[in-house]
Amino acid sequence: MSEPIRVAVLGAAGRMGSTVVRTVQETEGLELVAQLEAGGDLAAVAAAGAQVAVDFTVPAVTEQNVRTLVGAGVHCVVGTTGWTEESLGRVRDCLVDAPGVGVAVVPNFALGAVLAMAFARQAARWFESAEVVELHHPDKVDAPSGTARHTAEGIARARAAAGLGPAPDATAQALDGARGADVDGVRVHAVRLRGLVAHEEVLFGNVGEQLTIRHDSFDRASFMPGVVLAVRRVVDRPGLTVGLEPFLDLGA
């Protein structure tokens, strides 16, 4: 039998980190070798012999965590939000000096959410209007969600490739925020409500019809199969992977 993959969890005391810690402990073929909380020393990850670090921390620190770990030869699986094209570019740059090291930055590890985003990209070119509504627990610190950004970016790319112009919108006066955030021309709305976990609706409209694609994560357990898949696959996928799609053969 092959040796287990040695895993470190960053943000181990958080909602997601603590769930990942339990999952790694319970999953055959994975071994938990380090847990880091805020203020912990990143050097402990490589010192513990970790092959893969799973980062569920906060947007302010995740990029620096990844760059430090890549420098130490540790593969990274990242669920933390807050990534931009610029921060992803900086990670790509530092991976040039770390051949063989893989980093997967995954906005949403839930299989249904990944499929919902893929379906949304497929549908996008056929509809005049498209908007995204994400709904989360009120302890979430960022808005809109990383998933909603990723969804809207995918829709915008598909619309541009199909030669679609801006979605119709006659709004001439509005309270600030009433039309949501503009992500590459796609409106994204964020709801924060006690009782929710992580939910998203993608609304498409044409004259006389609407298509709604909805995904609900009712429990953080929904993210765990995707995290385990990424941990197993990142060790054989050098360079930067964005999204779970390539691991599920769903294209980018």
Ligand X SMILES: O=C(O)C1=N[C@H](C(=O)O)C[C@H](O)C1
Site string for ligand NDP, 204-223 (x = CB under 6 A): -------------------x
Q: Are 11 and 39 in contact (CB under 8 A)?
A: no
Helix (H) or strand (E) holding 61: helix 59-71
- Residue whose token pair is 């998203």: 200
Q: Which of 75, 136, 189, 199 is catalytic?
A: 136
Q: What are phi and psi of 206, to 5 degrees?
A: -130, 175
Rounded Cα distance between 98 and 106, Å, is 20
- Residue whose token pair is 């906060």: 58
Binding of ligand NDP by 106 (CB under 6 A)? yes
Of residues 178-207, those binding ligand X (CB under 6 A): 198
Of residues 108-137, those binding ligand NDP (CB under 6 A): 108-109
Binding of ligand NDP by 37 (CB under 6 A)? yes
* Residue 136 known to be catalytic: yes
* Residue 150 known to be catalytic: no
* Neighbour count for residue 250 (Cβ, 10 Å): 14
Helices (H) and strands (E) in the chain, counts: 7, 11
CA distances from 19 to 195, 224, 227, 229 (A): 18, 8, 11, 15
> Of 65 and 81, which CB lies nearer to ligand X in the complex structure?
81
**Residue 76 beta carbon to ligand X: minimum distance, rounded to whole angstroms:** 17
Binding of ligand X by 140 (CB under 6 A)? yes
Cα 58 from chain centroid (whole Å): 13
Binding of ligand X by 81 (CB under 6 A)? yes
Binding of ligand NDP by 11 (CB under 6 A)? yes
> Of 102 and 107, which CB lies nearer to ligand X in the complex structure?
107
Query: Which residues are at the interface with ligand NDP (CB under 6 A)?
Result: 10-11, 13-17, 36-38, 40, 56-59, 61, 79-81, 106-109, 146, 223
